[in-house]
Every structure is written in C-alpha cells, then in structure tokens.
Structure 1
Amino acid sequence: MKAPRPTITLGFNVLLILYSAGTGFITFAFSDKAQNVPIQGLVLTSLIDFVRYLIMMFISAWFIREFWNRLVADLFSIRFLAYREAITIVVLLGLFGL
C-alpha cells in the first residue's frame, strides 16, 4: 500500500507568503532607504507593497501554471501543475532571488 502523496495546502502557501513578506519588510525597515521614513509611512508603504506583491504573485502563478500545463506537461508527459503549486513556485523563486 502506497503512502498518500503530500500536497501543498493553502495553509502552507499562506505561511510561505507571510514569511516572504516579513523578510521583505525587515530588509526594508533596516535599510538605508527607510532611515528617514516615519513609522506611518513605513507601514503604509509596506501595505501598498504587499498588495502589489500579491497581485503580481497571482498573475505570475497563473502564467506559470498555464505554461506548464500547456507546454511542459505535453512535451515531457508529466502531470499537470495545480494553481497552489504554481503559487509556491513563484514565492520560492522570489525568496531565492531568481
């Protein structure tokens, strides 16, 4: 009997996104660019950047999923990619700086 294959869950993606956002916030907060910014500006800037990050992440994940499912899966006879898996790929590539 085979063990069930682990899947990427919504909770995993939420934690991964929050980790990515947290590292980005801390990196910016301790950078030279943030030294003269008041705390209200820092919070507002971070919230705007987080919304922009989410929008770009969802769009990029959609493109990756479509590219994978329409080309890569057909060329190499491998399984399709779920949207939640594409989100994980996008966030990890961002964390690794690629």
Structure 2
Amino acid sequence: MLIAFSVSPLGGESDSVAESVADAVRVVRESGLPNRTSAMFTEVEGEWDEVMDVVRRAVEAVQQSAPRVSLVLKADIRPGHTDQMNAKVERLESYLDQ
C-alpha cells in the first residue's frame, strides 16, 4: 500500500509546526520503508500493518509536544504492486512527454 499523510500539532504556542513535524518525519525515515517528504505530505510504501504502525508512531511523536494532533491520510491499496511511489510518477511523466 502507498499512503500520503500529514500530521500536525494543534493548540501549541508557536505558529511554526516544523519541529514537531520533524519528529514525525524522523520516525518515518528510521522505519526503513520507502518514503518521500514534500512541503505538505509524507508518502510511505509498504504492507498495511507496517505502514499503519509508522503512522501511529509518527502521531505519537507529535503528541509529545502538543495537546492535540491533526492527521490527514490518503491510501492507495493495491495488493501485488510495489514501488508505486515511483511508478505512478513515471507513468504520468510518460504521458506528459508525448
């Protein structure tokens, strides 16, 4: 499965969430699963249980510094397919190159 998620602290005293988000991204990167982070989302690819465990631990990391947490998650569940984080973009690019 391929997921894109965003986790952010709510109710803190700072208008920047970068430090808390960095704690979440650190969890993702240390998981060893294929991942990519952009300005708005982090993508993670793997099996259901391992991906959801990473999301849970990322949320818990943000909870360490915030009384409330927001989580947005989008999933593409396609058994039998791997490396979709790259393959989807490659397919799109092939159409743009025509």
Compute the TM-score of the two structures, normalised by the length of structure 1.
0.33
Question: Whose radius of gyration is greater, 1 or 2?
Answer: 1
Higher helix share: 1
Compute the TM-score of the two structures, normalised by the length of structure 2.
0.33
Q: Which has the higher contact order (CA 8 A, sep 6+)?
A: 2
